[in-house]
Structure 1
């Protein structure tokens, strides 16, 4: 990864919060006690899931593969929760007014793109570990010269410093995610929201904020660019929601840590990978000096093995999120399509519905 210039974090919703228009004071039904209980439960769980990601002592736990694994797992649980909330609310399509499904479909379609990009990058990084393992195997053979071994180490470094086109496109995906929400402004502002509609859209706001932020952190870390890191502000009318304070605490702790890592000009901001890079640098030097020891090699081998496991864990959690999102999309699309079939009195091919939602 190349050295990074100091770029200010991207501020999403700088032109106004897309969800603010969903809650006009004169256009919403009051939330009943039962609905309020469901909403409070959802938002409290969201707050707890965010707090888990805030390091208890300092920022040393941030930017590790362990933290990234927990962040992705937390995001997966949040998307499971929004599906559960819709089920608990027992919303008919007339209450959803189809808007929630269209909004969620647009959000998750781009989230799937981001997850695929992250998985691609994790595979690329893991391939670097294979290059190191091959270099170690060559070092153990008497036929491997110093020049050949050093060339393997250099191949690893070049590979790790290369760019992944899919990651390079993450910034555009994040920006388009915000733009896709803005497209719903005019239509949603003209419609009245029932109590259930207000609950689901407010819950969706929390999901959107958490999703945007965590994916922006991943995009920034993998791309090595603070251009992909966002800073989200909570509008005044939403400042008292249970998760708002926890979210700001998380953001205010993670963002400076990432910016400082970029400013330091480190080889990578992922601390587990940085430890391996440091070991490779030491090994490179000792091989040139002719003073390489088995202890140094074994320590580096262990670090590489742990790094591979870390990449695998993050990749698996990303895969779980993909499955969760796809499952939720299928459930919501199926729910809407069933209503269409009942209204028309005919059996319609599901693929038409999927295409319609994707186009929206």
Structure 2
């Protein structure tokens, strides 16, 4: 539930969207119901798996990578569902297509913003490498260079990413599209729209977490209430409450960044800054060596974690892009989207785990 102080982050003011898709008296065939239940049960399982075993795991880069893997997985799941529905694109409502194409562009923009922020953080590794190299010598000249590298790193990490700032308005716009259209005379359309609703909610939730982690503010977190009529709603609510609460708790303690690996590097940098500020006497040389070694270890973990996360963000970008291309291709030729989706799934098989 949203906290009283940030009601503007809560969306879905229109009530239960599933009433517009599956109103009372609406019946699905056993086959369609089985397809929908399978999709929702799979989504619930993915959400339960993503919940960290410990609060300390929230926003480790490895966990964020798992969150991005989840997005790749559920977007692949929706393609599998489309294939199983045998739902030709010519039967799609024009409004569904317009919303899908618009949303896909928004997701691509968000991915680009996240990738740019990861690249910016990775660039900071260069300052750390120079710092560690200069600390290999005990000369006063090297300490001057080390201080310069420390200042460079702190300024770089504290700088703003305008592309990241712009993506928050994109996420807000994406949230406003969660309202679902009334669907008449199309049982397959009802199943598809209900499944797409789940994909959109979970995608927005993960993007919200990434935005909060990269921006340095819990204000970017979204609280997304979902109807209890879906098989994944309980798992989603449990995960959202656990993760959002932990992130807010961290920020309430005055932490500058909630990225655990980045926080470890920042702690190491502060220790070294104090040691090299006025030089190091022989008594403290052992402390300097230990602090340098610790920073080297934490900086490598940060660099490796960012590299792996960047690959997952790129994988998600490709999943969204190929899905969009498949729809556009079938709109041009008037074919069955299921055929193209089946091909795309084969191509993406190694990217989605």
TM-score when normalising by structure 2: 0.86
Aligned to 1:205: 197
Q: Does 1:127 align with 2:123?
A: yes
Is the 8 Å Cα contact of residues 9 and 229 (structure 1) preserved in structure 2? no
How many Å apart are 1:298 and its aligned residue? Answer: 1.8
3-state DSSP of counterpart to 1:144: helix
Distance of 2:161 and 2:97 partners within structure 1: 32
Give the whole-Å Cα distance in 2 for the aligned partners of 1:93 and 1:124. Answer: 40
Checking the alignment, whether the CA contact within 8 Å between 2:72 and 2:319 is kept in structure 1 is yes
Equivalent runs, 1:57-76 vs 2, <5 Å:
58-76=54-72
Distance of 1:333 and 1:43 partners within structure 2? 26
User: Matched residues in 2 for 1:213 and 1:255: separation?
Assistant: 10
Among 281, 288, 310, the alignment partner of 2:270 is: 281
Match of 1:30 in 2: 27
Q: How far apart in 1 are the matches of 2:81 and 2:95?
A: 16
Partner of 1:98: 94
Structure 1 residues 321 and 18 mapped into 2: Cα distance closer, same or farther (>3 Å)?
farther
Is the CA contact 2:58–2:246 (under 8 Å) kept in the aligned structure 1? yes
* 1:307 to 2:302 alignment: yes
Shift of 1:181: 5.1
- Who is 1:355 aligned against? none
Aligned residue in 2 for 1:53:
50
- Between 1:36-45 and 1:17-26, the stretch displaced more is 17-26
Q: Structure 1's 194 and 109: CA in aligned 2 closer, same or farther, altered over 3 A?
A: same
* Residues 132/84 of structure 1: CA separation in 2 closer, same or farther (3 Å cut): same
Equivalent residue in structure 2 for 1:232, among 212, 220, 224: 224
Deviation, structure 1 residue 18: 8.4
Partner of 1:294: 289
Work out the CA distance in 1 between the residues paired with 2:41 and 2:194: 13
Structural mapping, 1:159-238, within 5 Å:
159-180=156-177, 188-189=181-182, 192-235=184-227
Moved over 6 A (4+): none
Name the SS of the counterpart of 1:306 in structure 2.
Answer: helix
Contact 2:217 2:251 (8 Å CA) reproduced? yes
Alpha carbons 2:116, 2:163 under 8 Å: kept: yes
Aligned-pair CA distance for 1:151: 2.1
Deviation sequence 1:291-341 (CA, Å, 0-9, x none): 243232122111111110000111100000001111111112222222289
Task: In structure 1, list runs of 5 or more residues that go unmatched.
Answer: 1-5, 342-360
Relative to structure 1, the CA distance from residue 24 to residue 198 in structure 2 (aligned partners, 3 Å threshold; closer, same or farther) is closer
| Cα displacement string for residues 26-45 of structure 1 (whole angstroms, at most 9, x for unaligned residues) | 6x852110011111111111
CA contact (8 A) 2:213 2:258 kept: yes
**Alpha carbons 1:267, 1:277 under 8 Å: kept:** no
Partner of 1:353: none
Match of 1:257 in 2: 246
Give the length in aligned residue pairs: 326
CA distance in 2, matches of 1:216, 1:80: 21
The separation in 2 between residues aligned to 1:9 and 1:295, in whole angstroms, is: 47
Unaligned runs of 5+ in 2: 337-353
Q: Identify if the C-alpha distance between structure 1 residues 51 and 10 changes in structure 2 by more than 3 Å, giving closer, same or farther.
A: farther
CA deviations over 1:206-230 (Å, ceiling 9, x no partner):
0011011000010011011222110
Contact 1:7/1:227, CA 8 A, preserved across alignment? no
1:152 is displaced (CA, Å) by: 1.4
- Residue 7 of structure 1 contacts residue 226 of structure 1 at CA under 8 Å; is this kept in 2? no
Q: Does 1:329 align with 2:324?
A: yes
Alpha carbon RMSD of aligned pairs, Å?
A: 2.3
Separation of aligned partners in 1, 2:293 and 2:322: 44
Matched, 1:267 2:230: no
* 1:55-106, Cα deviation, whole Å (9 max, x unpaired): 22x3111011011000001111111111111111111234322343322222
Residue 15 of structure 1, CA deviation: 2.5
Confirm or deny: 8 A CA contact 1:171 1:228 kept in the other structure. yes
Residue 267 of structure 1: how far off its partner (Å): 2.6
Equivalent residue of 1:251, what SS?
helix
1:150 corresponds to: 147
